Each structure stands twice: as C-alpha cells, then as structure tokens.
Amino acid sequence: MNSADKPQQRRQRHQASTFDISSMWYAFRRKWFLILCLGVAMSAATGSVVWRYLPQPKATGQAIYELALVSPMVVTRLPDERDFISFKENQKNLVTKRSVLASILNEPGIMAIKECAQAKDQLQWLEDTLKVDFKYGREYLRITADLNNPQDALALIKAADTHYMFEAVNKDKQAKQLRYTNMAALKEQKKKLLEDEFAKLKELGINGGASSDQVAALQQEYIQKSLTQQTQEQLQMESRMRELEVELAGRTAIAAKISRVDPPEYMIQAELETNPQLKAEKAALVELERGKKALEDTLAPGASVPKLSDYANAIAAQKALVDELPKRLRAAAVDTARGKHFITTNAEKESLEQRLATATKLRDQLEKETKILAAKIKNLNSTQQDFSKTKGDIDQLKRTADNLSATVEAMDIELDAPDRVKRFQEPMVSIADDAQRRTKFSLMGLVGGFLLGAAPFWLRELRRKIFHEEGQLTESVSVPLIGTIPHIPRKRRAHARNAVVAQPRMRALVTESIDSARATVLFKLQESGGRAVMITSSVAGEAKSSVSGHIAISLARAGFRTLIIDSDMRRPTLHRVFGVQKGPGFSDVLLGKKAIDEATQSCQLENLTVLSAGDWIPAASASLAGGAWTELLKDAKELYDIVVVDSPPVLLVADALTMARDVDAVLLSALKDVSEIDLIHRSIGKLESLGISPMGMIASGITHRMYTSRYYDRYAAAYTQGVRN
C-alpha cells in the first residue's frame, strides 16, 4: 500500500466513527454543572406538563369469545367443514361486516355517542373503533372499543356482542337447517324415483307372458328388501320419537317447576350486576374514595382535617348502602331471572315439540309406504321385458337413496351439536388506573426532559470531535505523536506566575515527559542538520506556549545554548512565564529598531535566553513576508545552539505559515479535552499544502495509567533533594 494514502485513510476512519459513549461522558464531565441544572429544569418542566395535561384514560369495553378448533359434532363431521385458520379470519371479518356495522348503528343510543355523532362517516368510525384480536390465545377472539365515556363503551360493546352472536351462531344454525331441508328434499326425490322404478317393474311383470312367475319371484325379492329397509327406517324413526318424547317430558317438568322455584344463582347475580341503581351507588363509592385519596395526597403525613373525617363517614355510609342494596333488590332480580329462565325453557320446549311433530309425520309416511309395499307383494306379476336394465336402475337408485338417508339422519343429529362460537366473557368495561398511568408517563417525561436538556451539550461535543484519549490522535491523525505531558491538577501546582509544578512527584513526571520529547526533537534536528524548531497549534488555548517553554527549559538543562522566541505578537505569553519585560522584543527586531542581541533577555535559568514578543503593530506582521524573519532566524542560529519558536496558531493568522517555511522542524501542540481533531486535520492540511511536513505532535493533559506508577517516587525524592541543595 502507498504510504501517502495512510493519512487519508486515518481521516476517513476517524470521520466514520463520529459517535461514541465516551464523548458524551467527557461532555458531561466538563459541563456537568450546566448539564445538571438545565437537565433538572427541563426534566421538572416536562414532568409537570405531562402530569398536568395528560389526557384522561379512555374506557375500554370488551367481550371475549371462545372458538372451537373444529366444529363440535355428535356423530360425524359436516361435509362443508372449514379449517380453523380460515374460520378465525371469517369470524374476525364478520365483526366489521358492513351489514353487522349497520345493525349496530341502528341500536338505540349508538348514534348518540359523542364520537359517533361527530364522525363524518359513522360506518367508517365504527369500523375503526371496534378492534378484533386474539390477545389471550388463538382460540379466544376479543372485541374491544375505546371511548371516553364508560357507559358509551359498554353500550357499544353490548350492541356489537348481540349482532356478532346473531351472525356467528343463529345464521350458522339457519344455514345448517337449510342444508338439512335440502338434503331431506333430495332424499324424498330419490325415493320417489325409486318408487317409479318399482312401478315400472310391476308393469313389466303384468305384461310378462309365460315367464311371469320367475319375474314375479324376482320382483318379490326386491320389493321384500325395500320393505325391510322401510321397516328399519320406521323403527329408527319411532326410536327417535321416543327419545324426543322423553326429552319433551323433561322440559315440560322443568317449565312447570320454574314458577315454584328460584332460577339459577348465576342468573340472579347477573341481574344484580346490571341493576342501574346498584351500579350508580358503587360509582358513588368509588368517587368518594377517589376524593379522599386526592385530599390525603395534598396533606402532610399524619395530618388530619375535618373534611377528611367527613369523607371517611361518607365512605362508611356508602359502603353500608352498597352492601345492603343487593338484598333489597334480590326479589326483583329473582323475578326478572325467573322470567328469562321461563322464556328460554319454553323456547326449547317448543323446538322439541316441533321436531316431534316432524318426526311423527315422517313415521306416518314411512308406515304408509310400508303398507303400500306389503300390498304390492300380494299383487305381483312378473315380466321379462327390459328386466336387466330396470334392475340395474333400481340398484343404483337404492344405493343413492341409502346414502341420502344416512346423510340426512347424521345431519338431523348434528343440528343438536353445541355452537362453535361461545361467549367466554360477557361485555364489560375497564378503565386504566389514572394515577399509575400519570406516574408512568410523568417519569418518562422526567427522563426525556433531562435528556432534552443535556442534548445541546452532547450534540456540541459530537460535532466538535474533541480528542479525549491518546489513542484518538494516534489512530486518526497522520502526524506521529512524539511526546505527552501528564495532566497536572490545580491543587498540585504552585501559586507562582509561571505555574511551576509544586508537588515533587508531579514535577518529576513532567520533567521526564518533556525530556523524552526533547530527545526525539534533537534526534530529528541532528538527522536533518537543523537547529530551529517551531511549536504551534490549530487555535489558541491548546498549551502551545506551555509546551514551548518546557521544551526550551529542557534543552537548556541539557547544556544547549537555547533561544526561545515569542512570535505570537497578538497574544504574547512567554514574558509572564519567564518573568521578563514584554519589550523590546520580536516586533522591534523585525522592524529593524533593535538587533537580536539587544532585544533578548536573560532569565533565571542557565543557557536559556528569551526574545519576548514586543508590541504588535500591523507593519511587524507585514515584515514577516519581506525577508526580515529569515534574517532574524539566521542571526539567531549563529548566536545559539537551538532556537525554539512559539508561533501564533495556524488557523487564526497567516504568520505561522509564513514562519514555518524557514524553520527546520514544526511541532503541533494539542490539549486533551480542548483540541478538536477536525481542526488538527485542517492545520496539517494547510502546512502540507506549503510543502511543510510536521515533525510530530505533543499532547498535554494526558491521564494515562502509566503516570500513576510508583516508579517515579524515588526519582522524585532525589530530584527534590537536588533542588534544595
């Protein structure tokens, strides 16, 4: 791979991974107070708004039905049985069938529902409101409706229940009855054809001739078989009649007892549950308990007010009324339940009577046919003309008639089979716990508000792409990292103007880190034969001047005659760090007012000389491009072993780019939690566009775990003793 492609690949890799959790954590750590304040304020505001303006929960009316996996059967499966999946879909579509929806809308009170009255298309509103699902299992169909008014929700779900059950059960029974009637008619038709064939056979026997005895014998054999079949059918029908008579007698006895005994307890309880007065009293009790709870929430723990006692007395009285009212209403509920029980029992009795009458007619008809066949046996005459063909026709018709008889008998029995759709849960209304719901949504609002308040800081952090770890520079920046300076906590710094490290161990760490970077800089300069190194940064505030001072001090301590130049005339710093005068300085040498040896100043450190910035005027910056800088640097190299230049930031002014062309090496300074990686890329790009390849980077404020090692303790003690001596 071409080495020139590596910087571009690093930049692309950095840009591809713009989001990470660590960036959010560093943003919180740097601006934690502002994030907490704004987050708490937004959280409180959001939670309060949600608690205050959250809409009331809707009342949910629902009814549940149990669907049998297969159609319930007594003897055999009906021929048109559908699979369960198709049956489920049909039942689901049946609820929203247009005819069913129209029937529901015609129920009293449905059109008066507020939501329905406001809808432009009532049918479409009803279709959207009624929800059908299988929440409790594949065999349990649930119909729900969410409305603001609980009474409206209950009325709507009851209407849907009535018309759905009519479509799912009653129409299914009607369809079975119709199929049974059609099959019975077809059976009678085939039976009539069989009789016609027997009549034809008789006519052939009458005109038979000499062989009439043989034909008569054959005819007698077939008619005898038919007579046997008819007799069996008659016996079966009489057996069925006896069963119906026994069942009818049982139903009659039950109907006679209804007026003397109470109806079943579940019917009485159902009537009590639907009593409007009892419902109203229970609702009043709930309202009193809710009012008491709301009052208690406004009071301090253990506090008591007269109104709270009033609530307690009212609740006790209302509970006594709710407990007593079912006893007073029981008599009326018993009468109503007895009436319904009587109607149901009489309907079943009438159905049995009708079926018994039908069976009696069929028995009489079979008896009549049996007599006719018996009479035919006495008056048989034989014939031989077309006997074989007529015999085959009779056999075919007989088989068909037998199959039809068996089918009709099975269908007659299946009419008594249980319904495939049963009501599993009566229509009811449920309302969600508003307090719990408000608490849940308010907590969500609190969390969302806090995140919303912290979002601007996190978004700003992600957009700026500030470097927080040493690995970010080595992975994403093409310039090598030649040195790091550890983070120095404020409490470990001296209160001097030059911010010298006060704690011996931290002083040892900083010294060793700077000396390590100095070794790399010296090696690179000696390798290229250079003597001037410029230290710059992308923007201001990235520890550029601090790094320049540390490098210059380290070079002087190593025995090199070192000159440090503060060329940042707009924001000079080094004169305060080293305790020298601001001028005359760099600007005066550029303008020719002073020679370099006249403008430099000595400091307290041996082998180190400082050329401060001086006063900035536009003419000084203009002289940089006119050759004055080149002459100044040439004179400095003749007087000193090493020249360290503290330049302005690359991206803010053009001075750094102008000076970088004449120095022997360029170092970039970056400060942890401050420097932006995108700006570092832009700085490197500007330098490379002029043909200047930076030697490397020095990162300040690093908190690597190697700086916590106890390795430096002995060195720190020795260093402190040396300083004291």
Burial class (CB in 10 A: 0-12, 13-18, 19+), 206: middle
- Of 229, 642, 278, the C-alpha closest to 398 is 229
- Among all chains, which residue has been given the structure tokens 């034909």? 215
Q: Which range is most confident: 329-343, 382-396, 497-511, 556-570?
A: 556-570
Q: What is the DSSP string of 340-387?
A: HHHHHHHHHHHHHHHHHHHHHHHHHHHHHHHHHHHHHHHT-----TTH
User: Binning pLDDT at 50, 70 and 90, where does residue 609 land?
Assistant: very high
Q: What is the pLDDT of residues 571-598, one digit of tens each?
A: 888 888 888 888 888 888 888 888 888 8
Region 666-671: mean pLDDT is 89
User: Binning pLDDT at 50, 70 and 90, where does residue 10 land?
Assistant: very low
Region 411-420: mean pLDDT is 68
Q: What is the pLDDT of residues 240-275, one digit of tens each?
A: 778 877 777 777 777 666 666 667 777 777 777 887
Residue 657 has pLDDT above 80, yes or no: yes
Q: How many C-beta atoms surround the C-beta of residue 426 within 10 A?
A: 13
Region 76-89: mean pLDDT is 64
At 561 the pLDDT is 92
At 55 the pLDDT is 66
- What is d(CA 592, CA 355) in angstroms, rounded to the nearest whole number? 131
At 461 the pLDDT is 60
Residue 644 has pLDDT above 90, yes or no: yes
- Among all chains, which residue has been given the structure tokens 């300076």? 485
Residue 160 has pLDDT above 70, yes or no: yes
Q: What's the whole-number average pLDDT of the chain?
A: 76
- Of 15, 389, 376, 36, the C-alpha closest to 226 is 376
Range with lowest mean pLDDT among 67-71, 379-383, 498-502, 633-637: 498-502
Q: Do the beta carbons of residue 719 and residue 505 sit within 8 Å?
A: no
Structure tokens at 276: 């409007």
Comparison of pLDDT for 501 and 29, the residue scoring more? 29
Residue 438 has pLDDT above 60, yes or no: yes
At 496 the pLDDT is 34
- What is d(CA 279, CA 28) in angstroms, rounded to the nearest whole number? 56
Residue 290 has pLDDT above 80, yes or no: yes
Structure tokens at 15: 């840009």
At 358 the pLDDT is 82
Alpha-carbon distances, residue 364 vs 226, 227, 369, 402 (angstroms): 17, 15, 9, 19
Residue 497 has pLDDT above 50, yes or no: no
Q: What is the DSSP string of 499-538?
A: --B-SHHHHHHHHHHHHHHHHHHHHHHHHHT--EEEEE-S
User: Binning pLDDT at 50, 70 and 90, where does residue 165 land?
Assistant: confident
User: Binning pLDDT at 50, 70 and 90, where does residue 494 land?
Assistant: very low
Q: Which range is most confident: 42-46, 375-379, 496-500, 705-709?
A: 42-46
At 208 the pLDDT is 44
Residue 566 has pLDDT above 80, yes or no: yes
Q: Tell me the percentage of the chain whose pLDDT exceeds 70.
A: 75
At 29 the pLDDT is 60
Q: How many C-beta atoms surround the C-beta of residue 34 within 10 A?
A: 14
Residue 120 has pLDDT above 50, yes or no: yes
Q: Cα-flanking dihedrals φ and ψ of residue 72, to 5°?
A: -60, 135
Q: Where are the alpha helices (DSSP H) in 211-305?
A: 212-258, 265-273, 276-298
Range with lowest mean pLDDT among 140-144, 340-344, 529-533: 340-344
At 533 the pLDDT is 92
Comparison of pLDDT for 323 and 393, the residue scoring more? 323
- Of 368, 395, 369, 391, the C-alpha closest to 219 is 391
At 202 the pLDDT is 65
Q: How many C-beta atoms surround the C-beta of residue 50 within 10 A?
A: 19
At 564 the pLDDT is 92
Which residue type does 673 have? D
Q: Do the beta carbons of residue 196 and residue 398 sit within 8 Å?
A: no
Q: What is the pLDDT of residues 173-223, one digit of tens each?
A: 777 777 778 878 887 887 788 777 777 666 655 554 334 445 556 666 777
Region 157-164: mean pLDDT is 88
Query: Which pTM value belongs to this model?
Result: 0.45
- Among all chains, which residue has been given the structure tokens 């989001």? 19
User: Binning pLDDT at 50, 70 and 90, where does residue 418 land?
Assistant: confident
Comparison of pLDDT for 481 and 25, the residue scoring more? 481
